[in-house]
Structure 1
Amino acid sequence: MTGWTAVVPVKPWGLAKSRLDLPDDDRMRLARAFSLDVLDVVLAAASVDRVVVVTAEAELGAIARRRGAAVLTDRPMLARGLLNRAVDAGRQWAKINAAGAPIVVVPGDLAALDAGVLDATLGLLAQQERAFVPDASGMGTTLLAAARPELLIPAYGERSAMHHSDAGYRAVPQVDKRCRRDVDTAADLAEARALGVGPHTIAALEQMTSAIREGRDRMRMPAG
């Protein structure tokens, strides 16, 4: 199935990835990189016809608009429940603009995702009227899909895999690991790096490594 609408909800970078044990600048740099890599992926995927970014992050909104995505300006997602509200805003847009097309939620922290993996996964999800991809832990949800926007009722949050399953969504875990590895912790980031992250994330990690190296070099310099 082609013609998908991809909804990409993204927290403001200053509020995102709070579980990463990093200085605020590095945490924001990675959150920015993750979401830009995911934007690249959904725009490049052959099976995706429309991309809807829901965010309060002004820079991301501007970048997405320039690249042809629809952008819905959201209030900052300060709590888990507000993620579902952001997804629903994208769903409402799709009901107006692509009522008969399949719809998928693509979280903005799938740092190892690429367009080929997304296309292959959407091919599997299209076999069900409503389906989801469990995250790497099996407890959460990465992609959430429905054959039509009216069928997409998100339940992201704690134990979302169970909630989506109970609501009638079919779990589709037999997908590439890159589609299941969202990044919340340092361990998640290490796994994503092993799978292969996108170019924005590579650049952010290199910048962080360079800054650490420069700091160590300064500490080693003899006092003047």
Structure 2
Amino acid sequence: MPALVSLVIPVKGGPGAKSRLIGDAAQRAALASAIALDTVEAARAASAVGELVVVGGLPVQLPGVRVVDDPGGGLLAAVEAGLAVLDPDLPTAVLLGDLPALQPDELSRAFAVAVGHDRAFVPDAEGTGTTLIVARAGVPHAARFGAASAARHRGEGYVELELPPLSGLRRDIDTREQLEAAASLVLGARTRALLSRTA
């Protein structure tokens, strides 16, 4: 059996979360929390995930999830803070915290393919961003999340994992258009319930 993958999920909350989505600050914060919780719960249910570390905070405590403080300084600083507490002798990964249509088996299948490479990544549905990076045991990450991160991760030696565009693992939510596109997929229970109340 391959080693379980230790996973970091950075989560941004508060009134500034998901500023490009619809609604006022309170509605956006509630939606961001629902999306984050659905993402973390799906990841926790994935059979290939070992230790799960959330950087930032969650509105409710979830079993089997270790939470560490966000050091500030943006997404890359949060990613580094999470990776710093993991065992480097195990495979490690970073997953964005805004994937409400993520299915546990999608994540496990991605990890199963990723173990064949020193570094691997999953691009977002648009093909320019990144939703997941994975590194083999003992291989350090070179996280390059942000604008044009797919190309930047390729430049760091991450091998692209090919998943269909409709995969929940590729559907990160930053804009109203992305949320509407993801609504045709199977969303997590919290996100689905919140959207049904605001429809």
TM exceeds 0.5?
yes
Mapped to 1, the partners of 2:144 and 2:138 lie a distance apart of: 15
Q: Cα RMSD over matched residues?
A: 1.7
Residues 91, 136 of structure 2: 8 Å contact kept: yes
1:61 to 1:5, Cα distance in 2 relative to 1, 3 A = farther
Q: Which residue of structure 1 aligns with residue 184 of structure 2? A: 194
Percent of aligned positions that are identical: 35
> Which residue of 167, 189, 193 maps to 1:203?
193
Mapped to 1, the partners of 2:13 and 2:136 lie a distance apart of: 29
Structure having the higher Rg: 1
Q: Which residue of structure 1 aligns with residue 137 of structure 2? A: 148
Q: Which residue of structure 1 aligns with residue 45 of structure 2? A: 44
* Cα distance per residue 1:82-106 (max 9 Å; x no partner): 2111111111111xxx221111111
Q: Which residue of structure 2 aligns with residue 134 of structure 1? A: 123
1:174 to 1:25, Cα distance in 2 relative to 1, 3 A = same
Q: Which residue of structure 2 aligns with residue 35 of structure 1? A: 36
Do structure 1's residue 88 and structure 2's residue 80 form an aligned pair? yes
Q: Which residue of structure 1 aligns with residue 61 of structure 2? A: 63
The alignment of Structure 1 onto Structure 2 pairs a total of residues equal to 197
SS of 1:63's equivalent in the other structure is coil
Stretches of structure 1 lacking an aligned partner (at least 5 in a row): 210-224
Q: Which residue of structure 2 aligns with residue 182 of structure 1? A: 172
AA aligned opposite 1:49: G
1:89-168 aligned at under 5 Å gives the runs: 89-94=81-86, 98-148=87-137, 150-168=139-157
Q: Normalising by structure 1, what TM-score? A: 0.82
Q: Normalising by structure 2, what TM-score? A: 0.92
Q: Which residue of structure 2 aligns with residue 219 of structure 1? A: none
AA aligned opposite 1:165: R
* Runs of at least 4 residues off by over 6 Å: none
Mapped to 2, the partners of 1:61 and 1:168 lie a distance apart of: 36
1:167 to 1:116, Cα distance in 2 relative to 1, 3 A = same
AA aligned opposite 1:93: V
Mapped to 1, the partners of 2:176 and 2:151 lie a distance apart of: 25
